[in-house]
Structure 1
């Protein structure tokens, strides 16, 4: 695996699951089965913020992801943030995710604090961090989901 793509989106719908599905569609990953992993970036892996995923393989296959996701019922706000940085020498790196019913500034501050805390646990020399924040209001009578995903490589068969 040599590429991790960071994608994001929001979606609103009459149910929680439908709003999540709509947010996945906005990010371009609605047709895959997502498998969440913890937040370590392997060495010698490129990370690119792309917004919407390209075609990553056949429908129904598995995608390995780090996921920040918040869903709220309206009226309210859902915010999700994903931060990352890598070693300066092409070594490993970290993703950190934060989400909740909070404003854009609060979720960004919290994800930056989490990433800094994770860095303190490791003896790697880190480069500058990158952050993606997705935030959206939910109108009364609807659910809204905001998400940001780090998608590891291409899809893989489940069966």
Structure 2
């Protein structure tokens, strides 16, 4: 595996699924089938916060991701956050959280979760990094905020 890219996006649309699809498009991963995994970063892998994914392979392929996602029917606010830290030994952790709340709240919660996960492991971690996406939802529309860690390139799904 080469690199794990952290991407994010938010969007509004007439339905919940359409807003999710549009948020994925903003993050550059709308043309892949996402497969969620828990939150362990393999040893010897770089993690880069890039915002929007580059071309990761053919349309319809599978992407392995850790996903923070929140959707609401407006009015309101949605926020998603992903925090990560790697150890000197190589492996690391992602923690994600999301909800109908503000940016500061999801950042506080994701940092708390990451600290709790670090305490479960006997690794020396570097300073954590956090990516947060937040957007206000207007009345009559659905809004989704996402932050994803995308593991490597796409792979054929069948």
TM-score (norm 1): 0.98
- Secondary structure of the residue that 2:29 maps to in structure 1? coil
- Secondary structure of the residue that 1:113 maps to in structure 2? helix
Aligned length: 158
Q: Which residue of 1 aligns with 2:74?
A: 74
Matching of residue 107 in structure 1 with residue 106 in structure 2: yes
1:2 Cα deviation (Å)?
2.2
Q: Which residue of 2 aligns with 1:146?
A: 145
**1:99-138 alignment, distance < 5 Å:** 99-138=98-137
Once residues 27 and 157 of structure 2 are traced to their aligned partners in structure 1, the CA distance between those partners, rounded to angstroms, is 21
Matching of residue 25 in structure 1 with residue 25 in structure 2: yes
Gaps of 5+ in 1: none
Once residues 82 and 92 of structure 1 are traced to their aligned partners in structure 2, the CA distance between those partners, rounded to angstroms, is 17
Q: Deviation string for 1:101-143 (max 9, x for gaps)? A: 0111000000000000000000000000000000000000000
Once residues 116 and 88 of structure 1 are traced to their aligned partners in structure 2, the CA distance between those partners, rounded to angstroms, is 16
1:38 Cα deviation (Å)?
0.2
Q: Which residue of 2 aligns with 1:46?
A: 46
Q: Deviation string for 1:59-118 (max 9, x for gaps)? A: 0000000000000010011100000000024x1000000000011100000000000000
RMSD: 0.5
Q: Which residue of 2 aligns with 1:85?
A: 85
Q: Which aligned segments of 4 or more residues in structure 1 are displaced greater than 2 angstroms?
A: none
